[in-house]
Chain A
Amino acid sequence: MEWFNRAAAKREFEAFVLECTAPLLRTGYLMTWDRQLAEDLVQETFVRVARRWPRVRGMQHPAAYARRVLANLALDHGSRTRRRRDELSEEIIQTPDPAAEGQLRRVEGRRDISAALAGLPPRQRVMLVLRFWEDLSVAETAVLLRCSEGTVKSTTSRGLAALRAQLNPHEESLEEVSP
């Protein structure tokens, strides 16, 4: 019987990986805007899901659980990146990053929404992906990220505003919308 259960669990997990890799990788790619990083995060997601597989396999929506893990990994990575950036010396921070400058010019010049998305803070991009790619509602996004609906609304609004600011840098009046 153990053989059967172990084999069944293994097969279920492999089927889960087979089914979920592409959608998770797409979501991770959009959240991070970095395919290599997304692949690493998806792998880490599977490792974490595997650790809890006996419980996860019984869930109604194991894929949703995996998506939550992935989103949190993406946010954690974004936070770490930001902390590392904050730890840089003042001198380095004050030195313009030619690559970033160039990217900004390209955004302004071509109004490239893809580049604009790449320039968003990770948390805002994650929210936009969940809301407008995964088509989750505000409430669903809040549950997934374990934050308040107000946080979802305000972060999404800031993300959209940042996008618009990059796409329309000379637009003068923007209508503020409360969360």
Chain B
Amino acid sequence: MTMTEIPPGLRDAFGDRAAEIPDDYGAVMLARVGRQPRTPGPRVLALSAAALLAVALAGSALALSRRQPVVNYPLLGSTAVAASGSAPATSDLRLAGYRFALPAEFVPVADNCLPDVGEPDIPMAPGGAFASSPAGGCVSAVLVRGSALPAGGREVTVSGHPARILDRPGGVVLLYVSVPAPGPRFVLLAARGLTAGQLIAIADAGLR
């Protein structure tokens, strides 16, 4: 063997170590940021700063040149602010690059506000975004791994993606949407206080 030959096992050693990083790590990180933890760590802050900078820089040139109102657009898991001041503020859930606009009475919250409906995906999913309403409504968005849509319920199409909607006790509605790989295969929206049609509409707009 000459010194320029690759030692046996080098690529395997690289591969073994690289395999420690899951494909969906980006989604997990974004989901974590979207959840807006109360005490964000340095990595969360850095990612937030990066994304905020991207937003600010992308719009700054136009905003400066045209002297029109600049959109102040909080990035991660918070309430969006209207551009001109005349439009009402709306809330949205941010998850892995998706933004789900919510009815006006809903505001993002840090923790899951849904009752336990025996849905293992909800607590097990890495990260998530949640919103609640004063009337006791709740919406959650999480990323879910899986190879097939869950059984039961009824099949629907959401923004061109196969999806399935299921009813659960306590007026909870679950909507699994199969989203393109890589990473988690499904976005799971779960809601209490919203109809199936409302939930589908929210998902449809957010996944376009």
Contacts and interface: CB of A to CB of B under 8 A. Distances in A.
Contacts of A25: 21, 25
A26 B11 contact: no
A26 B16 CA distance: 10
Nearest to A27: B18
B7 A167 contact: yes
B17 A22 contact: no
A9 B17 contact: no
A161 B58 CA distance: 47
A6 to B, nearest CB: 4
Given A1-B62, A6-B73, A164 B55 contact: no
B3 interface: yes
A6 B25 contact: no
B71 A22 contact: no
A132 B5 CA distance: 11
Interface residues of A, number: 56
A104 interface: no
B147 interface: no
A21 B25 contact: yes
Contacts of A161: 3
B20 A35 contact: yes
Contacts of B18: 26, 29-30, 133
B104 interface: no
Interface stretch (B41-49, B114-122, B170-178, B193-201): B41-49
Interface stretch (A49-57, A82-90, A95-103, A139-147): A49-57
Interface of A: 1-3, 5-11, 13-15, 17-22, 25-26, 29-30, 33, 35, 39-40, 43-44, 46-47, 49-54, 57, 113-114, 117, 128-129, 132-133, 156-157, 160-161, 163-164, 167, 174-177
Interface of B: 1-7, 9-11, 13-14, 16-18, 20-27, 29-30, 42-43, 46-47, 49-55, 57-59, 61-63, 66, 68, 70-71, 73, 75, 83, 96-97, 99, 182-183
Given A6-B58, A113-B9, A132-B10, 14 more contacts: A2-B66, A14-B30, A17-B26, A17-B51, A18-B183, A43-B43, A50-B50, A50-B54, A114-B16, A117-B10, A157-B3, A157-B4, A160-B5, A164-B3
